[in-house]
Structure 1
Amino acid sequence: MEQILVVNCGSSSLKFAIMDGSESPPLMEGIAERLGSEHSIITFKYDGKKHEQPLHENDHRGAVTAIKNWIDQHSDLDIKLVGIGHRVVHGGELFTKSVVINKDVLQGIEECSQFAPLHNPAHVKGIKESQALFGDLPQVAVFDTAFHQTLAADQYLYPIPMRLYREHHFRKYGFHGTSYRFIEQKLASLDETYGQQNTLVAHLGNGASVCAIRAGKSVDTSMGITPLEGLMMGTRSGSLDPSLLAFISDAEHITMKQALDILNKESGLKGISEISNDCRSIETAQAAGDDRAELALNMFASKAAKHLAAVATNLDSVEHIVFTGGIGENSPVIRSKICDRLKMMGIRLDQHANQMCPRGEISRISKQSSSAFAWVIPTNEELLIAQDTLALINRPETEQHR
């Protein structure tokens, strides 16, 4: 069976998996961590077991080399790699869909680095190292931003001087697009009518956003030119008065960039709870009576509900609301708090179904009386990357590029 190596490069990490494009679990998956450090390691998970080893080359090349060596050493598994699929955070306005990577595509990804300075340069490194080590194996880029390129101008433009958009492309781009596209396709597979209906999706994890989908297309989303806009998140503040940046900078005697780092890395659930950015730890503290934890969870739910209601203004009606992502799939507490704040939209949770929905499975958690179906649908961005890669490399050459 044909298989795809799925690669997700971060600035100091590299996640990977070998998948065949089906719902089957990955043949192998893992992560290289602390890249650039003398303590960098790579972990392989295969056949229910984990194997960890130090990286002798502690960079992206070392990680890709270790993956290639693992594949070569496991010839008994009959691995038939036919392509490599790369998650790319920012595709700007250049990329509206997944593409086979060539020199022009690689240059386009580099051009978008101004909007994702931590991520896109790392993606480029991962792509170049994969090209060097895997020879002529075709490689595909799948963009987090591509799904939201269907937004209308009145949704993606910021109310700032138009010359800033014309000259610098400053606009809302949105993220989590691969997850939203997977959820839209999965929902459509449940009933032939669902794919043409109006859906709100809440992708809630350490990074969190919402999206309004009409007939399979994104019409609004909460993240902006970067993933900082929108919902309160694990360590990100989400949307707030931009003047706060100047106030923090002046009060703390720090630069604007350092103030921005506070909004990106020290805020959100972590900043309010003063416990953790991990929702599970905060829920444990809340259950033990911690007031800060209760406040953090209430704020997180309130911000999510507000943004769901906001993006819903671009839909004629709401037939479905879907929860996905690490928190969305696994936190009945957060789902309940959000839906309590959406009662004015007629959404009613079945509390028993919400508490008891099986981990990793699609579950409907709304009452019969609810104006919209409420669902928990596990996302699988890696699977969609593998499927896109398989589909693209099997197309004629003229259809592969943007």
Structure 2
Amino acid sequence: MNVLVINAGSSSLKYQFLNVDTREVYAKGNCERIGIDGSFVGHEENGGPKQKLEVALPDHRTAIKHVFEILKAVDAPIDGIGHRVVQGGWYFPESALVTDETLGWVREVAPLAPLHNYAEADVIEICRDMFAQIGNVIVPDTAFHYHMPEHAWRYALPRDVVDTYHVRKYGAHGTSHRFIWRTVHELRGDKTHRLVSCHLGSGASLCAIEDGKCMDTTMGLTPLDGLIMGTRCGTIDPSTVVYLNRVGGYSIDQIDTMMNKESGLLAVSGRSSDSRDIEEGAHVGDEHCQMALEMFYYRTAQLFAEMASSMQGVDTMAFTAGIGENSAEMRQGVADRLAWMGVHLDAQKNAVRSDEPRVISTPDSAITCMVVPTNEEYMIALDVAELLG
């Protein structure tokens, strides 16, 4: 089955066209700066060279038209479309076929992820309108976390507030964490029962997975909670918001922007939100960059132990996403902080760059450590194949 996977943002649209059975990627690309001057489409086919097409993209409908026009050159029919939806809210315990009702749900929960859900709902509607003969599937990032134990997802707020406004831990990166569990279990079988999946990128979260079920995760009501990230502060005292508002004179919107876009590794390093730039700065003696790395290692290791506690044990950890897959230094820094738990990396194995999942821990490590490249598009395509038959 050939599936087109679409991931829409407020001013962008990423796509990948692949075969579920063979895992062959026919084409992939991205539409950037939608509704902004300087818009373009980046596109590549069958692993070939990347092309940059400078085209006017005033809205997502125009972007979708360009994507389908480009894909006409691929000698394969589109059998289904899968849409990554950031926030499924209280409606999506699993992926679902697009109907008037389910599309309405995506819009209803959009206040929890306003920069993403509204754009995603618009794109789903456009695809239904333009290509009525092709089935569409919603794959929410939050669905994998939906059934975590209540003691993990419930906040200690008044029950009427929680129930009225659906305030709870939703998490994110669920599609990635689900793929990591699937891949690790395929490779290790019964050797893995309690896995901590470490999705470390510009956005970062950990997930405790026991025999395929999410037991807890580090992101909360929104993706701001948990780890220190590229530009997000991660977990801090909630009263910081009140303090900055009352004493600092910052508006709620200013604080929201500060904590989501001006904090994290960017703020601590004073240099960049990109871990590569920060590592480079640390190597030449930049103390702020060194502190940014140390804080990242500390918080990741600290929350790793928290995830292990939610399962009352851990046998496997898997690094994934941009930092987790590519930075041997970051992996080593986190592992060093977990040496007290018996975590030991093999320096040579950790230094290897590969697109294949692999073990990087020593034989005597109490926890098997792996690098597992994530593939959210394939996971989405699998759900499309299952629901559309």
Q: TM-score range by the shorter chain?
A: over 0.9
1:311 aligned residue? 307
Give the CA deviation at 1:177: 0.3
2:85 to 68, 84, 88: 88
Structure 1: segments with no counterpart, 5+ residues: 395-402
Deviations 1:169-215 (A, max 9, x none): 100011100001000000111133145x1111110000000011101
- Aligned AA (2:30): I
Secondary structure of 1:241's counterpart equals coil
Matches for 1:240-389 after TM superposition, within 5 Å: 240-355=236-351, 357-389=352-384
Partner Cα separation in structure 1 for residue 273 and residue 247 of structure 2: 25
Residue 148 (1) aligns with residue 151 (2): no
Deviations 1:368-388 (A, max 9, x none): 111110101100001111111
Residue 190 (1) aligns with residue 183 (2): no
Give the CA deviation at 1:276: 0.6
- Aligned AA (1:103): D
- TM-score, with length taken from structure 1: 0.94
Secondary structure of 2:285's counterpart equals coil
Say whether the 8 Å CA contact 2:40–2:57 is kept in structure 1.
Answer: no
Give percent identity, aligned residues only: 38
- Aligned AA (1:67): V
Partner Cα separation in structure 1 for residue 365 and residue 40 of structure 2: 49
Secondary structure of 2:205's counterpart equals strand
Say whether the 8 Å CA contact 1:68–1:133 is kept in structure 2.
Answer: no
Say whether the 8 Å CA contact 2:33–2:57 is kept in structure 1.
Answer: no
Structure 2: segments with no counterpart, 5+ residues: none
Say whether the 8 Å CA contact 2:343–2:361 is kept in structure 1.
Answer: yes
1:102 aligned residue? 99
Deviations 1:105-158 (A, max 9, x none): 101111111211111101101101111222220000111000011211111011
Residue 58 (1) aligns with residue 58 (2): yes
Partner Cα separation in structure 2 for residue 241 and residue 23 of structure 1: 48
Matches for 1:89-168 after TM superposition, within 5 Å: 89-168=86-165
Say whether the 8 Å CA contact 2:12–2:30 is kept in structure 1.
Answer: yes
Give the CA deviation at 1:38: 2.7
Partner Cα separation in structure 1 for residue 372 and residue 220 of structure 2: 24
Tell me how large the CA RMSD over aligned residues is: 1.3
Partner Cα separation in structure 2 for residue 380 and residue 80 of structure 1: 22
Say whether the 8 Å CA contact 1:23–1:383 is kept in structure 2.
Answer: no
Worse overlay, 308-317 or 102-111: 308-317
User: Deviating runs (4+, > 6 A) in structure 1?
Assistant: none
Secondary structure of 1:253's counterpart equals coil
Say whether the 8 Å CA contact 1:55–1:63 is kept in structure 2.
Answer: no
- Aligned AA (1:307): L
Partner Cα separation in structure 1 for residue 41 and residue 247 of structure 2: 42
Say whether the 8 Å CA contact 1:16–1:31 is kept in structure 2.
Answer: yes
1:169 aligned residue? 166
Residue 392 (1) aligns with residue 387 (2): yes
